[in-house]
Amino acid sequence: MGRLFLREQSDINRLLKIIADNDLTMNPQAIEYACQILSDDWLTLFDAGGPNCFCDLSFGKIGGVGYSLPQWIDAVTSLYNLRGVKGIDEQARRLCISSHERLDTALVLTVASRYQGRHWAVAFEPNGKGCSDLRVAQGDQGFYIEVKRENTQKHDRLKNIRATSDAILGGMSPALFEWLEKNNCRIQVRFLRGISTSLAPRICNELRVKVPHAPTGIEQPLTLPKDGEFVVLRRDSEQHFSKGFISGIVRIKQHGVAVQANDPRNMPVQVVCEWLPNLTAVGDLIKKATRQLQNDGKLDSDAKGFIVMQARGGKYLGNKIEERFLPNFPACCLGVTLLSESPFGSGQIVARDGLDAPALSVMSHAANVDYPSPRSESRDDVPYLSIIIVTPEQAIG
């Protein structure tokens, strides 16, 4: 896995080639600007082969997150595009704080840049603390925008999924990996409910016994837990289970040889867990956002605005927001533009009945489109992927 440090011109050149090779675009001047204003972790990327180049952003003692190349390009380009807007230095400072605030700020910048690119004037925190993140204006139109991002790493369900998946992947028999490699196969193991990590050894042992005798492409039940199942696939087969939280092991056999980390063919074992949206967490974000928009209304009698939220769940989450939360929105809040975690998601608008076409068009800009389609939806088929990299020096089992 190659390291790129963008204070070195040679590494900037390497990054620009990776970007071009993967049909992405970026202004080199945006990288130069980032080098002047951002911390070193934003300027350090890791090339794992193909499009798998990522930035590892620290949250301090609680860990961090891998920011994909498209996400990184979005954030850094947005920062550059907004460099002349009042308050941009404060936004850059927040990007460098080792906490979840840096990702919240990156989303605010991305949304702001989408409006600026459509010739809307942008103002950060126009009414100060406790009010909305943005105000966008064009001609006689003006809207307040409160931007929220679901912090999935705080969810207990996610912590359990990660712990269980890691225990299963780490407990797999070396003999099973050898059998899979010899037979050009891989396996997916799926669980519909949370399970205890204490069951991992028994699950691993059952897989060691059953996998070599299982037919390919046909789901097979596990004894524990009762809703558990696995499927043996040819190495180059399409994913059988494609939704949810997917964890996998990527084995690096030789130093200096690039391996595409998110390619299922390079993951002999994947653990797939169902992961439904956390409606309690989403509800808390909506409650806080509507309160901030109401605070704008106390200072601006004509205030109207909407929420932009990045969260998992696609159509399911959009329907739940419409059913549970939209009826209680204050008059100043027009609705929610729901963004996918995927940089390529198209977004979904959940709005009040009777909202006029111009307002819907304005809300759609947050999802980087000019006007919503009749059934504008965020992608809900993109899995959350966690990868364990195993180097030649490491052993499994």
For the residues 285-311, what does the mean pLDDT come to? Answer: 95
At residue 50, the pLDDT reads 63
Cα(297)–Cα(278) distance, rounded to whole angstroms?
A: 29
For the residues 349-366, what does the mean pLDDT come to? Answer: 93
pLDDT band at 345 (very low <50, low <70, confident <90, very high): low
For the residues 241-256, what does the mean pLDDT come to? Answer: 78
Higher-confidence residue of 92 and 163: namely 92
Residues with Cβ within 8 Å of 236's Cβ and at least 6 positions away in sequence, in order, are 265
Q: Kindly list the domain boundaries of the chain, sorted by start residue.
A: 2-117, 156-277
At residue 159, the pLDDT reads 79
At residue 312, the pLDDT reads 81
Higher-confidence residue of 224 and 133: namely 133
Confidence check: pLDDT of 57 > 60: yes
At residue 344, the pLDDT reads 55
At residue 158, the pLDDT reads 77
Confidence check: pLDDT of 378 > 60: no
For the residues 239-243, what does the mean pLDDT come to? Answer: 89
Confidence check: pLDDT of 381 > 50: no
Q: Over the stretch 152-183, which tens digit does the pLDDT of each residue have?
A: 767 677 778 888 999 999 999 999 999 999 99
Confidence check: pLDDT of 19 > 80: yes
Question: Can you give the pTM of this predicted structure?
Answer: 0.79
Confidence check: pLDDT of 390 > 80: no
For the residues 38-49, what does the mean pLDDT come to? Answer: 91
Residues with Cβ within 8 Å of 37's Cβ and at least 6 positions away in sequence, in order, are 79, 89, 92
Confidence check: pLDDT of 148 > 60: yes
At residue 242, the pLDDT reads 85
At residue 255, the pLDDT reads 62
Residues with Cβ within 8 Å of 307's Cβ and at least 6 positions away in sequence, in order, are 145, 146, 147, 148, 286, 289, 290, 293, 333, 335, 336, 337
At residue 261, the pLDDT reads 64
For the residues 110-136, what does the mean pLDDT come to? Answer: 96
For the residues 140-153, what does the mean pLDDT come to? Answer: 91
At residue 89, the pLDDT reads 96
Q: Over the stretch 187-236, which tens digit does the pLDDT of each residue have?
A: 999 998 778 889 999 999 999 999 999 999 999 999 988 889 999 999 99
At residue 111, the pLDDT reads 96
Chain mean pLDDT for the chain: 88
Confidence check: pLDDT of 385 > 80: no
Confidence check: pLDDT of 257 > 80: no
- Edge to edge, the sheet with strand 305-310 lists 121-124, 134-138, 141-149, 305-310, 333-339, 348-351
